[in-house]
Amino acid sequence: MEEIAFFFGALFALGGAIAVVAVKNPFYSVLALVVHLVFLAGLFLLLMAQFLAAALIVVYAGAVMVLYVFVAAYVGGIEEPKWDASPELRVIGPILAVALFIAISIAVLGSGLAALGTPGPEDVPSGFGTPEAVGLLMMEDFLIAFEAASLLLLIAAVAAIVLAGRRREDRKSATDDRKSATDDRKKLVKADEEINAAAAGKGEGAR
């Protein structure tokens, strides 16, 4: 049962992750990411991390992805070319990818694989992965890290608002430009009308 659930979840989680980068349409990319997140939450459930699973779905699938979907659907329809990078990126990209792969490999070989042959922890402590346990960890043992992360998010939010505000000022000056442009056009239309009227008058006179 566990094995079936694990391989089922792993298959869809991996498939979703690959589809995110392999699919051309950004809307499908976002949907693939949602599929990935949902099945990743399922894998968390297998590890008894229920709070993490619920938080993953509520925060990522429920809030962050909704914003992505919003943007992707509005921009949508544009098929992104799969690999159209500048010459510098063509060199740097693969190097960084290989470096990341090596880093992850070291981490996996060093820790994760060591536990592979063992049956795993015999008895999971009662209440492991519940909101209470996670809350105690975050509010007592890792308080500083937790607060630092929330401060970082706060700064990011404030920065986003400042940047958006600046963009709006630009747009205001742009509308000013447009206003003067419409004034110009009005003048032109008026001149046009005068010329037409004059031409019509001349025409009548000739008749």
Residues within the interface to other proteins (CB under 8 A): 1-2, 5, 27, 31, 34, 38, 41, 45-46, 48-51, 53-55, 57-58, 61-63, 66-67, 69-70, 73-74, 124, 126-132
CA nearest 54: which of 66, 38, 69, 68? Answer: 38
DSSP secondary structure letter of residue 61? I
Looking at residue 66, its amino acid is V
Shortest Å, Cβ 46 to other proteins: 7
- Closest to other proteins by CB, 58 vs 99, is 58
- Closest to other proteins by CB, 89 vs 153, is 153
- Closest to other proteins by CB, 13 vs 49, is 49
Total residue count of the chain as it appears in this document: 207
The whole-angstrom separation of Cα 114 and Cα 181 is 70
Shortest Å, Cβ 137 to other proteins: 15
Cβ partners under 8 Å of residue 6, min gap 6: 43, 46
- Closest to other proteins by CB, 106 vs 137, is 137
